[in-house]
Structure 1
């Protein structure tokens, strides 16, 4: 029993350590997951307590495996635990003009021989970043303490952008170091700092600095000179005008060279591309011109996520307009074919595609802005499963309607038989199909049931079966039967609407009340009324042959036997008395 208590004590201690490690670390764990894990821990503890002591006495090791808790690092006051925090903190310090604080984001420990003033180096780094640099948007930079381990760099390095110095590309790298209290601290790598031009090697003034008056450079808004905000606005307008001119010229040139583009649907596809391409090109020109003209990288970093969102909106808008063009083209084709059910399917798919575009667009935009969409995606997944379970019949009917449209076992106007119901198809909708019966009533059948049943379509047959059975009288002689057979065969072979290869007339059966002659052939027509007309003429001719060549048709015979056994018995009883 003592062994069991010792084992349980160690096990519960391990569980407690594991619980403490998971729920006090820097990693975020959802509350629902934490509750589930807590329940699992206590359930395992209860199971261990109820097990017999003998199972623990077999093997007992004094060195029980203990779970080592993850190290707890104190919060860094400058937010340098992740690459994103380092970039954000450096930009904020530079925007506030506090270059002394900005120097704490630089790895100066290995550069003390050449770099005497950290604030000067931070200012020089800002100067280099203002000159033709490209940095990743904030949401694209890793926010994990270990950084992005999937890039092609070593685990302790992170690339956050590039800059151009003396016509050479310089990688803007962050380097993971260990802080005084332990834990990772991300700093701008010395490999990047040693390529930053300082003092006498500093780059010349940018285009916007040469253009703006002094008071617009001195006044600062949001960490950037006021003139740079004005310049960013002007660059945006110029970029859109240039994009509009380029796209309009391309459309005119394509229309002039390829005359087919003036007609639908080619013109519709070109028109669908015009606005999205214009927006995307404007965003690219905005980024390029702001870099070339020397807009402050603080301001460009603020607008970087906006340009990505504009590019995303351009792509989504292109897909949206392509959906409209394809839908319009498909509707015209289906109207020409009088396929009303297909139109309803196309419209439903159009709405579904647009809803999907909106959902994915919102998720991507929120992710670009830095919001955590993992929880939202999980909620959408659970909600989608619940919705699918709740709308199971609706989904089944929709799949059935898609099957009816794709396989086309029936079309509007076809006369068919589904199960025990016969009628003319009047409408194939998204949920159900309507049949007009011969009694002029409407029967509505869900498409899920409709597609799973046996469907007999009478509209697609190319000929009609003619298979009457003639009953001759018993007193018809064999010569008369042969004469009737010859006359019936001549009737079939002489008719132009009878398939000669399948026509046959045979004496097939001698029953108790008649002699049966089977006529088998096909009437070569797909029109029901014409089939009835041909059938009527053939039956009249055959009736005449049976009456003239033979002794007529046999009538149904029914024998009634009347027994008088009861009356005779009474007479015998009276005589005996």
Structure 2
């Protein structure tokens, strides 16, 4: 069905024919939306067709004569030229219902303001059509009433312009106004540059921190964006103050909004660059190389987001409907998120590893059943070099959710061997061993005495069990093994001195040729225990704290006669 176009002009007293409900009528002057009404009024003024411009005003019957209509349209144009303003075109509603997200009653939109005899007057457009008719937006009757009796004075710019520049028109505007706009653009930028330069100079002079990083870099990042933003506001203010035509200013409104958006984007871009560079340098100095890849990835992601949002904002500022784009972007984002779910999981895992730092490059750790040294923590995965020199790659998402045992952060090492003695070891020999082995633990300078435990824990079918529990102070695993080796050798000497021996993991059959345990050593161990007992110095079941203090550090370590002891003594 073809669309019927019909101009709806105020004062048309001819009754309109009723149309079928499905018939759509389009207004030939484009007054179906607030944006269409304002744009149509501006275009009519640019064409200097004030009768057509008056068709965008809600005129009562007394104001429908041609001269009166022309006068009111010219008055509104003059008031707009004389310091008035209209919202940028992109901010005006392009919907037939107008804006519904403001506090103004439905069917009415605020589109600008003017000054009438020293008082500010808001400009409203309203839908004057009935509910069952095609929307018809006009400058409201209240607005027309407020401006109709305004006093018109010659514009300041027109007072100083030469006659040829006022009488020659370009695009419906005197040529002098165009020249004034060019001069204002140059002057606004120079004024903004001077103001921001002076402000930054004052800040650096009176705030010492502004001359050092990171404050210096942050302040520098604000320089250009603030200069552009201030230039826009200076330009808008001066163009209104000197009386430049609203026709030019409305055409430049999208440009000024675009420049403001670009200024914000430049600020975000420069801050992102500076913060990422500063953070990357700090991570490099701290040796956290794995964090640099995260920082660079976040910087690239942020810049992509800025570019997308900037394009959408600029298109919206110049009047392009981006609703469909946003919907498509949202659907695309959901699809991308679903498709890249595992990648996002690994990225979040990478961030977790960088922030919590359960492991670092060079740490020896155990993840599940994999043990080895961490060689690289990347954006997607972590590489672990095992003891067999194989390279295991674990996705960071799995790694962050796993139980990680990090051996690199141990402050001490557990020493917990179990000695199994021959079944024919006598009780006094066990007592001798308990005292002497504990004395060794307390006296060794590399063993933490709190706690340092040794207990006779049981009798099995093949042996008597002595269990140790102590911590060795060592900076790394290699040193721990050296100290553990020294302790075990000293303990073997003590076991040999006691006259007993370690049990074999098998049953023993005694035959006549077996001489048994050496009687002299057995008797000597028993005599030593008897002397301790008679003197009240048997350190069982606990050691005397005074005795522990006397024993601390009395064992020579490294042991005498070893290469390490010779090196320590400077020989």
Do the structures match in fold with TM over 0.5?
yes
Give distance in 2, aligned partners of 1:511 and 1:81: 100
Deviation at 1:535, TM superposition (A): 0.5
**CA contact under 8 A between 1:474 and 1:515: conserved in structure 2?**
yes
Deviation at 1:109, TM superposition (A): 2.0
Aligned to 2:43, the other structure's residue is in SS state: helix
Deviation at 1:526, TM superposition (A): 3.5
Give distance in 1, aligned partners of 2:64 and 2:329: 56
Deviation at 1:81, TM superposition (A): 1.5
Query: Structure 1 residues 475 and 559, CA, compared in 2 at 3 Å: closer, same or farther?
Result: closer
Give distance in 2, aligned partners of 1:455 and 1:123: 79
- Cα deviations by residue, 1:168-219 (Å, 9 ceiling, x for unpaired): 21212223213899433222223222333679x3212x23222332332233
Aligned counterpart for 2:86 among listed residues 135, 145, 160: 135
Match of 2:156 in 1: 207
Deviation at 1:339, TM superposition (A): 0.9
Match of 1:356 in 2: 305
Aligned counterpart for 2:470 among listed residues 514, 521, 526: 521
Deviation at 1:311, TM superposition (A): 1.0
**CA contact under 8 A between 1:111 and 1:190: conserved in structure 2?**
no
Is 1:118 the counterpart of 2:65? The answer is no
Deviation at 1:133, TM superposition (A): 0.7
Deviation at 1:558, TM superposition (A): 5.9
Gaps of 5+ in 1: 1-19, 27-68, 561-577
Give distance in 1, aligned partners of 2:222 and 2:441: 66
- Cα deviations by residue, 1:279-318 (Å, 9 ceiling, x for unpaired): 0000001101111111110110000111111111111211
**CA contact under 8 A between 2:413 and 2:474: conserved in structure 1?**
yes
Aligned to 1:427, the other structure's residue is in SS state: strand
Aligned counterpart for 1:170 among listed residues 121, 131, 153: 121
Aligned counterpart for 2:258 among listed residues 301, 306, 309: 309
Give distance in 2, aligned partners of 1:112 and 1:444: 83
Match of 1:152 in 2: 103
Aligned to 2:105, the other structure's residue is in SS state: coil
Give distance in 1, aligned partners of 2:345 and 2:221: 34
Q: Aligned pairs, how many?
A: 494
Aligned to 1:194, the other structure's residue is in SS state: helix
Give distance in 2, aligned partners of 1:146 and 1:378: 21
Deviates more, 1:359-368 or 1:295-304: 359-368
Give distance in 2, aligned partners of 1:521 and 1:143: 80
Alignment of 1:108-507 (within 5 A): 108-112=59-63, 116-178=67-129, 182-196=133-147, 201-204=151-154, 206-507=155-456
Deviation at 1:154, TM superposition (A): 3.0
Aligned to 1:184, the other structure's residue is in SS state: coil
Deviates more, 1:268-277 or 1:320-329: 320-329
Deviation at 1:334, TM superposition (A): 1.5
Give distance in 1, aligned partners of 2:403 and 2:177: 73
Match of 2:526 in 1: none
Which consecutive segments of 4 or more residues in structure 1 shift more than 4 A? 69-73, 113-116
Deviation at 1:252, TM superposition (A): 0.4
**CA contact under 8 A between 1:481 and 1:550: conserved in structure 2?**
no
Is 1:539 the counterpart of 2:488? The answer is yes
Aligned counterpart for 2:27 among listed residues 52, 76, 79: 76
Query: Structure 1 residues 531 and 25, CA, compared in 2 at 3 Å: closer, same or farther?
Result: farther
Match of 2:568 in 1: none
Give distance in 2, aligned partners of 1:519 and 1:550: 20
Give distance in 1, aligned partners of 2:426 and 2:192: 99
Deviation at 1:111, TM superposition (A): 4.0
Aligned to 2:106, the other structure's residue is in SS state: coil
Aligned to 1:117, the other structure's residue is in SS state: helix
Deviation at 1:91, TM superposition (A): 0.9
Query: Structure 1 residues 556 and 112, CA, compared in 2 at 3 Å: closer, same or farther?
Result: closer
Deviation at 1:390, TM superposition (A): 1.6
Gaps of 5+ in 2: 6-19, 510-571
Query: Structure 1 residues 151 and 451, CA, compared in 2 at 3 Å: closer, same or farther?
Result: closer
Deviation at 1:134, TM superposition (A): 1.2
Give distance in 1, aligned partners of 2:412 and 2:130: 90
Match of 2:49 in 1: 98
Aligned to 1:499, the other structure's residue is in SS state: strand
**CA contact under 8 A between 1:464 and 1:526: conserved in structure 2?**
no
- Cα deviations by residue, 1:208-262 (Å, 9 ceiling, x for unpaired): 2223323322332222222212211110010000000000000000111012211
Deviation at 1:388, TM superposition (A): 1.5
Give distance in 1, aligned partners of 2:500 and 2:362: 46
Match of 1:568 in 2: none
Aligned to 1:196, the other structure's residue is in SS state: helix
Computed over aligned residues only, the root mean square deviation of the Cα atoms, in angstroms, reads 2.4
Aligned to 1:178, the other structure's residue is in SS state: coil
Aligned to 2:462, the other structure's residue is in SS state: coil
**CA contact under 8 A between 1:95 and 1:223: conserved in structure 2?**
yes
Alignment of 1:29-40 (within 5 A): none
Query: Structure 1 residues 330 and 323, CA, compared in 2 at 3 Å: closer, same or farther?
Result: same
**CA contact under 8 A between 1:546 and 1:552: conserved in structure 2?**
yes
Give distance in 1, aligned partners of 2:495 and 2:463: 13
Query: Structure 1 residues 434 and 533, CA, compared in 2 at 3 Å: closer, same or farther?
Result: same
Give distance in 2, aligned partners of 1:333 and 1:480: 62
**CA contact under 8 A between 2:412 and 2:471: conserved in structure 1?**
yes
Deviation at 1:517, TM superposition (A): 1.4
